[in-house]
Amino acid sequence: MSEPCPPQIDALVAGLRERLATTPRLLLGIVGAPGSGKSTFAAQLLAHFDPGEAVIVPMDGFHLAQSVIAGTPLAERRGAPDTFDVDGYLSLLRRLRARDERVVYAPTYRRGLEEPIAASVAVSRDVRLVITEGNYLLAELAGWREVRDLLDDAWFVDIPDAVRVPQLIQRHIAFGMTPDAAIAWANGPDARNAQLVASSRHRASRVIAHAEK
């Protein structure tokens, strides 16, 4: 996956630590198109903090389950904004901002199984940095447009399509798609979703550029 260079990571982490010195909790959104490496980047940030100091809460935990979309048009464009429980995601973000519960349990998404897994991330009141990553945190759509106001900051992971699309295809193949199906999905539903994500880039406070290798 693509990733920023270590000096950039160090500077970004230093900035987060400076902000955490004056606030009990920071909610940071990491946004990018499918295959942009936002999950890898979020994990890199997390690795710079001690256990219990930071946590990742993925937007993908709010995918609608297969049993909900099976046999409907949504199944043909899984991953589009309306195939997520945006109201559930907003409720989680509000709970995380409030910090008035001993622990909040968040869902994750299991690739390969292709299903959300409930209550699989524990966020205690003591967690200082909550990193949430996903495609539509900056989208200007009904429901989704409310996400940005619940985040203290939002960074956009920018990567050329010439790098992003091939690695996205390889990810699809790794999780069970045939090569032909992976190419079709990456250039079909994924491409439409990527265009929508790109249109929201202007709402980010920082752009994290792809580091050439």
Tens digit of pLDDT per residue, the chain (213 long)? 444 454 589 999 999 999 999 999 999 999 999 999 999 999 999 999 999 999 999 999 999 999 999 999 999 888 999 999 999 999 999 999 999 999 999 999 998 788 999 999 999 999 999 999 999 999 999 999 999 999 999 999 999 999 999 999 999 999 999 999 999 999 999 999 999 999 999 999 999 986 543
Apex 189 CA angle, 183 and 192, nearest 5 = 115
Helix (H, G, I), strand (E, B) or coil at 86: helix
Separation between Cα atoms, residue 187 and residue 43, nearest integer Å:
27
Q: Give the pLDDT of residue 213.
A: 39
111 close to 175: Cβ distance less than 8 angstroms: yes
Helix (H, G, I), strand (E, B) or coil at 193: helix
Separation between Cα atoms, residue 80 and residue 135, nearest integer Å:
9
> Which residues, in sequence order, are CB contacts of 96 under 8 Å at separation 6+?
25, 27, 57, 104, 123, 130
159 close to 207: Cβ distance less than 8 angstroms: no
Cα diameter, the chain: 51
Superfamily grouping for domain 6-206: P-loop containing nucleotide triphosphate hydrolases (3.40.50.300)
Radius of gyration of the chain (CA): 17
Q: Give the pLDDT of residue 5.
A: 52
Tokens (6 digits) for 143:
């429901």
